[in-house]
Amino acid sequence: MNLFRKTTATVALVTLVSGIFSTGVSAYSTAEVDAANELAAAGIINNHSADPAGYNLDQNVLRQEIAAVARGVAGLDKKTTCDNSFADVSATTPNTWACFSVEALLDAGLVAANENFRPEANITKAEAVGMMVKAAFGDEYMYDESKGTSWQEQVVAFAAMNGVVSSFTNYDTPATRGFVFEAGAAAMTSSVEEEDDILSDLLEGLLDDEDTSSEDNNTNEEDDVVVTPSYGTDVEVTLNPMSANSQTVPNTGLVTFGKFDITAGSEDSAITSIKLERSGLSQRSDISRVYFEQNSKRISSRGSVNIDDEIIVSFTPALVVKAGSTETIDLVVELAAGADTGAEHKFAIVEVEASTDVANNLPVVTNTMKLGSYAVKAVTFNATDDNEDEDSTEINVGDSDILIGEFELITQGDKDNLFKSVTFRNNGGADMESVFANIGLYNDGVEISTDVIVDGREITFIVNHEIENGRTENYEIRADFISTERENDSFELELRNTTDLNVVELTTNFSAPIDVFNDSNDTMTRYSLVGGELLLTRDSEYTTTDTVSASTNDVVLLAAKLKVDEAITIEDLSLEYEVTENSLKTQFRDFKLVVDGRTVSTYTPNTSTDHADGENNGTGTLVFDGTFLVETNSSIKVLGNLNNTIDNNSTFVIDSFELTDSTTKDMRYVSNDEKVT
């Protein structure tokens, strides 16, 4: 747990001020405005004291936007290649520009080597305060795990004690610019190391709305996010130089007609829809659907050609183009079966709906494609459901490298194929992003997925796996099952549309038509997700029988090991016991329930309630009141303190130790508060 908390605090380095590039106006508090003015007076941010709305105090921050800044603060060079260390910041994701800085931070140990970097996540208030405290006070603040409180609680308490912020408990609320400014100004004032004010270095030029960097500040890194470019605000659409030339293409299946670059100006731009027009010596009936892809993944709706030869496609979520950056998208056309050989088609982007103004250089037109008689051999998709044992479709929290889907691709013809990507939809209720980790696509036991993108119910595998002509290849989807959201959750992957599978001929790059083996073979096995597995075993380190003297303390009466794959809480644990010769109260002063070396509950015998019938012997129950947490594999002990008046030959036996509804009042998973079944 300590490692996780340290990781969280380190990640805050790259999340502190990512909202500095957005705009907005709201009613601001006097304290926030004063703090912003104080930072402005110190030359750290631009001065908007005449119009405080210019501080944009109500805006939040994105992690990826601060990566280049954090790299510069750390004195690290930007990487020249991207090793794809993170699934969501890589050479194949839209934010490749961030990869060179993010991976530099990773190589230096400043961010954790997790599967995902979460580039578009906001920083929380606790993370922001943690960064302020670390920046201003250095090693004067250190998280102390022995206190038994969370790092959030400790860092906020430290900050409050030093006048950085007022105490708060909504640790996970996204931090605003106003909150960051106020905490930053207070941290600067409170710091005992003003001559080495790391915070001032961190914020220098970062919170400005325009470029205030000096000639000595990263002059050799023109694309650092701290520099506001000099171009205008309009978003511009151009034809990418790598767009396809005029050529003859197959008259059926999917054809990429063009590549377009969308470049934002000095503001982020959110693209919500694009209107296209079809033209050429042809009929609109040749065209079945038109849509846009990015990095082999469909990112827009599928539009059909209307009677006016117009197509409108929408982007949900919107395609966001960051200020000063370019996003490249591919126009994919699905040709109808029986399209006319010799027909000519081209497409033009004529309108763009965006959150910013659009440059007046439209229309932007693709080259003309002529439909030929050449036909790419079809590839058949088959969801292989060999799982006949219903029990084997249940998977438990904590299971690693488990099969959650399996399919095969059947190719034909005399040309090799390239399996580029596939998108599946989860028909079950499980949230893939929170339930699974280390999701990968495998062929012959080797992971072949270069990137995995989880977007709501959809999961996309970027693959680029070669298939020899005429071969059938089997693929497995494997993952670690890390948590549950609710009881009786499920998971089932389906190839919802054949266009979600992207396979091309290796030599021509023409897309192969996709068939499904039969109507039911587009859906894989449905898996039931079962809550954390509990395994209780005797701790062999301790004896099962022992002889002790009167007045002995902390006698180990029971020692067990509890394997928990998901954190649980246990309330009011009870144990069945048997005594001979003496009542329980005569033998013991009290009992202790100890978990991982920590006493979580005690029990004091009571003459009126504990068993003492007949010849002072019998059975009864020890009930340890209270709730305790078990996060990982734990040790559980019951210790007893013996009275000094106990008679010889008295015995005490724990009949059984079970974790069931009859031995506990309640057991629940921490992740979702569901009852352990």
Query: pLDDT at position 7, please?
Result: 24
Average pLDDT score over residue span 441-463: 91
The pLDDT-based confidence of 63 (bands split at 50, 70, 90) is low
Judged against a pLDDT cut of 60, whether residue 346 lies above it is answered with yes
Average pLDDT estimate for 530-536: 68
Report the SS3 class of residue 154.
helix
Of 1-15, 409-423, 452-466, 657-671, which gets the smallest average pLDDT? Answer: 1-15
With a pLDDT cut of 90, the percent of the chain lying above it is 26
Of the pLDDT bands very low, low, confident and very high (cuts 50, 70, 90), residue 260 is very high
- Among the ranges given (342-356, 379-393, 472-486, 490-504), the one the predictor scored with the smallest mean pLDDT: 379-393
Q: What is the pLDDT of residue 203?
A: 46
Q: Which residues on adjacent β-strands are paired with residue 629?
A: 569
pLDDT tier at 439, thresholds 50, 70, 90: very high
Residue 44 predicted with pLDDT over 80: no
| Contact yes or no for 23/59 (Cβ under 8 A) | yes
Percent of the chain with pLDDT over 70: 76
> What number is the average pLDDT over the span 270-282?
94
Give the mean model confidence (pLDDT) for residues 328-340. Answer: 91
Higher-confidence position of 533 and 259: 259
Q: What pLDDT is stored for residue 138 in this prediction?
A: 61
Whether the pLDDT of residue 565 is over 50: the answer is: yes
Average pLDDT over every residue of 522-544: 77
Is residue 508 within 8 Å of residue 476, measured between CB atoms?
Answer: no
Q: What average pLDDT is seen over the chain?
A: 77
Residue 327 confidence (pLDDT): 93
The pLDDT of residue 94: 65
Say if residue 390's pLDDT is above 80: no
* Model confidence at 575: pLDDT above 70: yes
Q: H helices of 364-426, where?
A: none
Phi-psi group of 37: left, alpha or beta (phi > 0 → left; psi -120 to 50 → alpha; rest → beta): alpha
Asked whether residue 641 carries a pLDDT value surpassing 50, the answer given is yes
- Predicted local distance difference test score (pLDDT) of residue 634: 84
Residue 105 tokens read as 């931070």
Average pLDDT over residues 457-462: 91
- What is the pLDDT, as a whole number, of residue 279? 94
Q: What is the mean pLDDT of residues 133-142?
A: 64
Query: What is the tens place of the pLDDT at every residue in 97-130?
Result: 778 877 877 887 656 678 887 777 777 777 767 6
As a whole number, mean pLDDT of residues 236-259 equals 91
CA dist 424 and 494 (Å) reads 5
User: Is 45 a residue whose pLDDT tops 70?
Assistant: no
On the question of pLDDT at 576 being above 80, the answer is: yes
For residue 477, the model assigns a pLDDT of 95
Q: How confident is the model at residue 214 (pLDDT cuts 50, 70, 90)?
A: very low
Residue 204 binned pLDDT confidence (cut-offs 50, 70, 90): very low
Query: Taking the mean position of all CA atoms in its chain, how far away is CA 664?
Result: 34
DSSP H/E element including 534:
strand 534-538
CA angle 600, 604, 608 (to 5 degrees): 145
pLDDT at 261: 94
Whether pLDDT at 34 is above 60: yes
pLDDT at 592: 92
- Where residue 531 falls among pLDDT bands split at 50, 70, 90? low
Residue type (1 letter), 43:
G
pLDDT value of residue 533: 61
What does the pLDDT look like over 165-186, one tens digit per residue?
788 777 777 777 777 777 777 7
- For the chain, how far is it from start to end, CA to CA, in angstroms? 26
pLDDT band at 399 (very low <50, low <70, confident <90, very high): confident
Q: pLDDT per residue over 152-165, tens digit each?
A: 888 788 878 888 77
**How many Å apart are CA 74 and CA 205, to the nearest integer?**
15
* Torsion angle in degrees (nearest 10) through CA of 225, 227, 233, 234: -60
C-alpha span between 530 and 302 (Å, rounded):
37
Segment holding 291, helix H or strand E? strand 287-294
The residue behind tokens 């479709």 is 393
Q: Determine the pLDDT at residue 537.
A: 74
| Half-sphere exposure in the Cβ direction for 109 (13 Å, CA) | 2
Q: For the residues 526-552, what does the mean pLDDT come to?
A: 77
Confidence check: pLDDT of 325 > 80: yes
Q: Which of 234, 128, 225 has its CA nearest to residue 181?
A: 128
What DSSP element (H or E) covers 436? strand 436-443
